[in-house]
Amino acid sequence: MRPARHTRRARTWPAAAGIALLAGSLAACGGDAEDTASTSNDGPASVASGNLATALKPLNAYPVPTEKLDKAGSIAGKTIFYVPITKQAPQFTTTEKTLAAAVKAAGLRLQVCDGKGTPTEIGGCIGQATDAKAAAIIADAIPYGLAANGFDAAQKAGIPVVISNQVPDPAHPASKTLTWIPVPGTEQQTRIFDWIAADAKGKANILVNQSSDGPSPAAYVTGGEAALKKSCPDCKLTVNKVTSSNFALVPSSTSAALLKDPSINYVDAQFEQYLQPTQGGVQQTSRTDIKVVTGSASLGGLKALKSGSLAAATAQAAAFQGWVDTDAALRLIVGQPVPEYNIPTRLFTKDNIGDVKLTEEAELSGEWFGPATYTDDFKKLWGVA
């Protein structure tokens, strides 16, 4: 993992360029499976095997920015709002807890409002933050278009917005009141596909339960599929669209896709929030030969991996992200340029899970991904160490 670059520059996001945010992106899409067979002849499965050694290891150090925060004392006592798209996702619980610690360390307060996966609730949360004259709003995994009026109104009122866990929207570029914290969703997807390609020795039929909550999840799968075509040209990928607004459809749509194509032997729950209903769908088929994997894993997912009910998992450093999101918000508040950030990821399998401390304290410290000294590094940048 290379250190983050510390000067913001224009970015291009080709994977997402052609993905439109539909008004019904959070509507139930269970059972909408799409076959996308890999046809490339470029690259053997050994490509995937060669990538796994690095993916399995933690970092030597977290990529903390180097630019100090100016005028930090002038914002003490103010309130930052955190709005996750839904608190059903375990990852957001970790980020929320570390956000609270980071915001407190900087001398501010944190207010949390659950978006509950619906445009109405998300818009209400952003409106609440604007009415409360928040110092900043941190929106987690919320597409700009899903709450455009609210985001526009907040910025017009002088409230800066940080949007995390989303592919940046070209129609709403970074500005003095808006910044994007991109996350390695494609990297996670690529790593799990690399593992499948190696585990299956180059011949796998994969079903991925892809979130339809906005354009970013589809972009991650598209990026992962491009890598899969190189590492596993004989692998086949089927996409089943699921959504956080209707978990009840996930088991039935999963089982329907498996019954439609009995050759599927790997099932990928794109995010851990879909893992339990995905496993329920597999169980409905009474098949025991299917290996289940997941992305954005938290403590629960890694415990499932340790117990053997999960074959592999990827995760991103959600604890570190809480401090990154806070750093970005503070810099917007004081009118300082926001650096580029790099959120680490890691692949977990039976080969390394035995070395991972599976406790909430370890998860919140960020030690799964590297040395947990980054909190002191951020405090020094903010002048509060």
3-state secondary structure of 84: strand
Cα dist from 271 to 191, 259, 292, whole Å: 14, 22, 12
84 pLDDT higher than 80: yes
16 pLDDT higher than 50: no
Task: Judge whether 28-58+185-316 and 72-183+318-339+372-382 match in fold.
Answer: yes
52 pLDDT higher than 80: yes
Cα Rg of the chain (Å, integer): 20
- Written out in words, the top-level CATH class of the domain with range 72-183+318-339+372-382 is alpha beta
Cβ–Cβ contacts within 10 Å for residue 12, how many? 9
Q: Determine what percent of the chain is predicted with pLDDT higher than 70.
A: 87
Q: Give the pLDDT score at 237.
A: 98
Separation CA 233–CA 236 (nearest Å): 8
The region of weakest confidence among 8-12, 68-72, 75-79 is: 8-12
Q: Give the pLDDT score at 23.
A: 30
Q: Give the pLDDT score at 255.
A: 98
24 pLDDT higher than 60: no
Domain boundaries, the chain: 28-58+185-316, 72-183+318-339+372-382
Mean pLDDT on 145-164: 97
pLDDT in tens, 291-327: 999 999 999 999 999 999 999 999 999 999 999 999 9
Per 3-state DSSP, the chain is made up of helix, strand and coil in percentages (nearest 5) of 40, 15, 45
Q: Give the pLDDT score at 10.
A: 34
Residue 323, both tokens: 């401090």
2 pLDDT higher than 70: no
Mean pLDDT on 48-53: 73
Let me know: does 142 contact 50? Beta carbons within 8 Å. Answer: no
Q: Superfamily for 28-58+185-316? A: Response regulator (3.40.50.2300)
Let me know: does 90 contact 272? Beta carbons within 8 Å. Answer: yes
Q: Give the pLDDT score at 353.
A: 98
379 pLDDT higher than 80: yes
Q: Determine what percent of the chain is predicted with pLDDT higher than 90.
A: 81
